[in-house]
Amino acid sequence: MSLITEEVKAKADEVYYGDKVSQEKTRLLLKEVGLPNGLLPLKDIIECGYVKESGFVWMKQKKAITHKFHKIGKQVTYAKEVTANVEKNRVKNLTGVKAKEVLIWLTLSEIYVDDPPTGNITFQIPAGLSRAYPVDAFEIEEEAGTETKKKDVKEEDVKEVKKEVSNGGNVVVNVKEV
């Protein structure tokens, strides 16, 4: 049964349709409430919405997905419909998200970042048990930053690489994150 009724949609301050805009708005909302922007790596989002008054958010995707957070080696499943109430540094009443711990999938009910920041993010299950991980394990680099980096490349550097390639030379390119 869906928690997103027409009544909830009518109260929503923001409703978005389509994957691209929904991805952007989901990351923006996470950032606004002080949570890592890669916390909800959903795919093929068809709808997302936000009721500011209550903090209720929802995301609907075409199908359930499983994602592995490689930095911590944990798998998480996201149902077709994910809902929660968000507030500063916290996600409460979370539905549609389960994390694999040893051999069992545990439903997550709450996620929060300490204030003042400790560098950890804590995940809690309905029974009250919790586990903390480094916040940076759930951060993704902003794509907007890549455009800026492309503009910072000097024209003479580009000409030099083109010249070496056209002369048949072997070119080794070292890329540095700025």
pLDDT of residue 143: 59
Q: What is the pLDDT of residues 122-140, one digit of tens each?
A: 999 999 999 999 999 999 8
Q: How far is CA 2 from CA 37, 143, 169, in A?
A: 25, 33, 61
Q: What is the model's pTM?
A: 0.76
Angle CA(72)–CA(125)–CA(13) in degrees, nearest 5?
95
Nearest alpha carbon to residue 59 among 73, 39, 35, 75: 39
130, two tokens: 């919790």
Question: 158: part of which helix (H) or strand (E)?
Answer: helix 155-166
Average pLDDT, the chain: 84
pLDDT of residue 25: 94
pLDDT at 60 over 50: yes
Mean pLDDT across 7-32 = 92
Nearest alpha carbon to residue 121 among 162, 76, 62, 82: 76
47, two tokens: 């709808």
